[in-house]
Structure 1
Amino acid sequence: MQSVLIEIPEEIVSQIKLPPKRAKQMIMEELVIRLYQQGIITSAQGSRMLNMDRFSFERFLAKIEIPIHGEPDDLEKDIKNLEQVL
């Protein structure tokens, strides 16, 4: 699997008023949100990129008012799967 490394110029990094770990997380979240909104990645891929389970990722999207992609058939399948688990 090929990965992509994004470099941010040092002068910009030095101006970010956040601890490095938080800045990295925030930048990654913004990237994932934009890719997801544009339909470039799925919720499964987004959750993986943010090291979340899919439910947590969808809750994250709901919190920031980003609609979750999917077809009505997908929702019906998800409900049936949940009913089997519960």
Structure 2
Amino acid sequence: MCLAIPGEVVEILDDRPDLATVDVSGVRRRINIGLLGDDRPEPGEWVLIHVGFAMSTIDEQEARATLEFLENIGQSYADEIAALTESRID
């Protein structure tokens, strides 16, 4: 099962404005935010991430509720965090 997971934007890369560093449950990774078009997030905002791409921006309340739900479903969430930990976008 592939899940979309919320992540908080930490920074937008100066030299690559289509990439952002996000924090997902303590794991920091670069993701592509190019699909968001003009709805680019700012640091501190939340995005919904699927396979290394931000699919949409979401508010913090929705992000925290989604994270809580994912943590409660167990192994699928753990597998998604493991995949995120192993992924790299440079």
- Structure with the greater relative contact order (CA < 8 A, sep ≥ 6): 1 or 2? 2
Taking structure 1 as the reference length, what is the TM-score of the superposition?
A: 0.26
Q: Which is richer in strand? A: 2
Bigger Rg, structure 1 or 2 = 1
Taking structure 2 as the reference length, what is the TM-score of the superposition?
A: 0.25
